Amino acid sequence: MSDLGERVLVYLSILPDKVNRLERNSESMKDPLFRFLEREVTVASNLLDLIRKHLKDINLMCKGEINATNLLK
């Protein structure tokens, strides 16, 4: 468990805290490529948030602060 806890901390240090979202304006919304990239960035940002949350939960589990759930296992 201690090895897993150390690896989780390494992953958390490597991953960015957040992904900067693209700025919308009336001109950019006319561009289909911009709309495509905006959707992809939004999905990536949400996925990054979920991954960081799960890694933090795994770290707490390794420390014994929370119980192991099926999701964490």
Whether 6 is in a domain gets the answer yes
Whether 53 is in a domain gets the answer yes
- CA dist 62 to 7, 10, 49, 53, Å? 11, 14, 20, 14
pLDDT at 73 over 90: no
pLDDT at 72 over 90: no
Domain containing 8 equals: 2-63
Which residues neighbour 53 within 8 Å (Cβ) at sequence distance 6 or greater?
A: none
- Please state the domain count of the chain: 1
15-66 pLDDT tens trace? 999 988 888 888 888 999 999 999 999 999 999 999 999 999 999 999 999 9
Single-letter amino acid code for the residue at 51: I
In this structure, are residues 41 and 21 in contact, taking their beta carbons and an 8 Å threshold?
A: yes
- pTM for the structure as a whole: 0.82
Whether 11 is in a domain gets the answer yes
pLDDT at 55: 96
In which element (H, E) is residue 44 found? helix 32-63
Whether 37 is in a domain gets the answer yes
Whether 9 is in a domain gets the answer yes
Whether 51 is in a domain gets the answer yes
pLDDT at 1 over 90: no
